[in-house]
Structure 1
């Protein structure tokens, strides 16, 4: 087959020029949200755990795996798809497979297994069919290469089950209670047999054992012939070929028992509390060499620390720590653990409160480790963990009467017991403390203010404790209100625990930081001598004048104009207006006495003062003159203010005597300087509801005159202004159609020109003009569909030609928005959930779409979206939201020289062809010809990347030009032809 390689090359280049991609970097600010890792379980390749993605609920709580590195930490599988949790639990590693329970949202909680891959994470068996609740298998335990657990199939009740990891090999081992639930619990292995407690429906809860077969599963001994013998919650402690527990024979109450695994060898050790009383319901203790240390109560001394060697005579109280009849052992928070040949536990000696004690089994060796919570207040410890590699006892505890439990470590000495980190244990419900020591470190879940509850690691020292993996950081900072100063971008963003505050970024991750713990609502690009000025508030003062040089120490309140917690400036999302003239800041402020009046500041407290009380006595009515719209004409400052006669044009030289009124005009809304004139928008009729018309002034009363009126009795609604080439562009309302129209003016009658209306430039039926912006050689504006309130079209004008350059489909809900000028390139967003940025400039007749590649984070998909754009020098910042980071800050740079100059396909299909180029393809020359009566003014030749390689003016004003292409290399080129009617035509040229 013969291939047309020229055509393939064209297609490849064309695709490149119409689908550009730029790199962007995520500048994460708010890392807070709880991954809440728990159930840490060691495996051959690292460890498994469960975690949640938090409030955004993309996955819920699911199974994760880590190989011990941050990059190797990821979710294994979204078992319950979407935002619901599969709630994996009871994780256990057996035969290089992880077993656990989970719910896929359809079949309820069942038995699962995983080899660490998504495809290898499977449900083993639907044990209880037609069930969708969380009452699934429990008490998982490995024994002789198989898994044993408690489960119900909905027919036989809660019984003992076993599994070899296959569906057929998963079955009920024995129906212990044929008429109900036997509820096996407390499973443990001793001398190659499985032991547990169960209720056969006849003998009550008794001790059972199994060799893993049905026939080999039987009650060990009927300890209490008339009732239940054991409570759930016993620690079965194994020591010297016996295991120990608390049981009730119906005669002596609940006391210490032991068993060698035979009926005859299952016997009481000692009746610690004489008579049919109970010493304790369940055994809580630890093994220390050849004795067990446990909590006992003889009925005289209260709950104290005891020991036993397995004989009656060798079972005794070690020490009466609380020498009253009260308990020393904190029965509500009883914990025992062996560490370095001593047992550690919690006790209260009636002096220090509940604290950590330790014992070597002797009275003299039973001592307080440290008074962590000073005075008689007690510590609260949920769990002890022994790091045998680093020889440390780890725990979270309260201290200094704080309710927060911080991470501590102990080497068993007073001085070696100290807080090693400010991270906290979770202070809510549903998260179980979890520690796991592997690879010379202990991994644990801990909470700090910046990251929330996440995965940490420690070697038991202060310096060796750090965040390991921030599993969930979906709580975004929602950056907004961008302002530029000194090469930095300042903005408003939220971070836990500070809330919405002032941030700045220099474009680097380390240079993106909180400036100060202050409240801001709006920012504007007001910079004097390297300081950004803005309105802000703190915990002491209301909204006042602040400045920042980009450092925390240099971010300070300039002056408390309205003392105390009152505000002198606008707040709560109202925009405070500032104007800089000759390095002096002009604004209005309320000092609490005079109302909102004219103020100035040079950035110092002494240089910040009221210039003049233009509207006396207005402060008592919370009113003022509200000076605004400051501008300069011939080195004189002009502004608008409201005195007792209404709104007026004023001038000031910065002094009270030099602040004078020029002329009263009703309801002044705009004041701009263009072409050495003041352009004013004011209501002419004096009625307050008449049209707003254009006025022009030279700054004097006599020189202030009506320039143009738009209607007799309807508000012309002149608003949204910008300037280009010393002309004012503005939106008004047509007195005829009552639709918005677009004008420009140079301050003269003949220079006030209509540029756009529905007659001269047909557009959508019910429209209004929105979002005007000067960028490069054009003023851009969007046209909004009033019915859907979405901006459907993008237009531009240079004052001579007004043209539509982009439009949305009528049935789309998306809107053209967030127009931003970046190095003379207009950028905007268009889609409902934008993943890309659109660009158009002086050299483009149609916008280009630019895709974003996030180099250090997730790329945008689905309902992820870019929210706001902000240009700062050569940097483009934008806020964007995704399900991983929430709404966060990103930075990129756009190099327009590397972008194609036109989307050729779009321009050719959406405009009438006015220029032709032939022959095409060509190798010697081409003819560029205008197909109508308009002459060719000039043309540009660009390569496939958009780089201009030639430009020629048509001085002879011909409609046809001949151009030599023999010197060009084979490839794709673009010709940009400008006609005498102002239209620009883009054409593709193939040189072969």
Structure 2
């Protein structure tokens, strides 16, 4: 036999070289190449006076003001005259990318008052004349970096009145004329450090406001102020004593201001006031008694025929549309939209011509556009915009050109878009599908500016959520300015990678933005990355998961939209992607999970609707897919999880609460031999084993024995051999080992202690050899090593993600030493995270998902230049001989080992490149014509063979295949073959 060194060198010309010294991860393909435009998310930054919805942007002169984020300055104050050139940042109040977050924008003449945070003085009162120089802090009311947090800023003559806290008197009543000296507390209504919390200011006349406040004695009641201490007083203690009437929703009707309040007699009802105690009284007890009609006037304001419109509940008709002119006789039910005691409600009341437009629900057509002239006969559904019982929920309704302009949705056609209505069904149409298809542009803050409407909308493809204008025509609906230009890549969110080593194909789930989340495959190149099948046709998702190679095909679970989530398989083609069996017949799902190959069969958990979630087995045919064992007998579920093959045994976590709770089970390939290994947490309590992995013929997992917390355990299949490896977090505390990965040198995992937080740990199977590898994020903060369902084995290294506290969550690798535990690359530069979550080894390379600013979450490839060994496929034998190997690193000895066929002789063959199958019906990876005989072995039943790897850099990346053949003459099967093993020679 030739020397082993010359043997490998001789094979190098025929073998395929895939790996090089470690490289930076690269994008395989941008599966979802759509660009997500950046959004400035303009908002109106307003409070609706009297506690009403702030429908629009605030205008000062010919400009309107808004809050937006251009991606550089954070959320700051902007203004626009409705043109691109006239749209600009007013001032970067909080310098840099941080946000001052202006809010409570209020105009007093040509001056805009608001609150903002400059990063030094906290959130305080500011003003602006529309220029950067004229945008200044009025006063640091709560001196220093703390915030006075001005709220409910409301005009009062030439001043503003608001609530704020100076740090001494609590949140109290303040007034400002725009100067520091003229910014003073009006009254300490609740004396001392407690707060009276003035709220919902509403001007009863230009120099007087109504509001709610709590003086600590009378509860939250109705107050009035003219901005002086002497002119500030409680109007009336409506709910006598310390209880609160909680006045809210102030709305003027004629000479009165109507509002909602509660007293001890009538509950929450409609009240009116002229600002005096004598002029404050209950308007009408809509729901007689103490229950209260609860008039809701948040969307009220527009007057029609001397009345306001709102919804209330009289106890008979449900919450329906009412109107009031401020008198008991004039406060009446307009229409019982949803007949009977059910509620039709009513929102966004807006006067358009001689009608009030709003939306309500009649119980048949969903929440749709209605109109009323204030009479029952004159109240009608305008149009069922979203046909059927679904709701279009029109909002931001405004009058424009004698018609109603609004945002509404019909997800069957256009999503939420801009609509116009003349009050007829035929005249109610979509203006334009700004974001094409069923996605939504979501128009909002519709504001009249000259002869057009300005609004926020999102076209989804070019500009994102920005300021748009419209004249109620498609041609006249266009962008005003792209405040935050550019965009970022959409994510295909690749997940659940599963590799077929025999073909070098990695399968995964991904969403290309068109077909939903479907089955894809890649060979590590862009041209070789393509969708296998659109299982759930259209934009819906089949969500393939739990991929595993079996019988030269990839098995997984998926949902085709008809049969629920069931067992599927693919040969890598659309035609060859088929459902194996509809285990739970009909549209319900059996939800197969934890697919694992054992003894030439596919084992998994599934629920047929009768036996609960139990252990199933399949030979790849519908007839051969059957319940294997009902672990928790009857309709209850044994719920086997984390299936793991170690040696000749299948392990899993399962429960039978009649006996042992959730514990570790073993299976020898028979139902009778599927039994609990050990009741780790005695009785029906559960040790809850999880993250099961096989290493050195044993199964490692985490479990809780009820005494030592959740720690690392191991089993050899016997009760005596099932023990805790190490109590990392001593006593009853938990170390919570997770994401276990069995590598050549031991088991890697994530765990936590009080000293380190969640960090990377390693075990060689002994207590002494189990410990922290590296405190990646030093101290008690966690680096949170993660990869689902476990780290990726790279021989004596692993691939995982971690966060060092500086670079975000990025890909890392480790060889179980602190020095050898390093970040691979900062793929998302800075403190942001690329967050790899799923990965698979593909011929010595790691295929994984990660996010970058340019592409979003997409599949990436990393060639570590490390030696790798991977067992794959099945052999051809009724007795299941196996073969596995340590990684073929340069200058080391790789160990090939497995379970033989009794005491029969066998032969280990080496082949490069991989051979086609040579025997019909068997899975053979060695061509006897080109394969090279390496060594004889004898199964007794275990065997092993050492193979020295030359320390020769020319061998880096050489890929070869192994298989064991056992001679069993004279028998029905004279040749018994093992599974295949793929080697990639590396460091």
Instruction: Give the TM-score taking structure 2 as reference length.
Output: 0.46
Instruction: Give the TM-score taking structure 1 as reference length.
Output: 0.46
Name the larger-Rg structure: 1
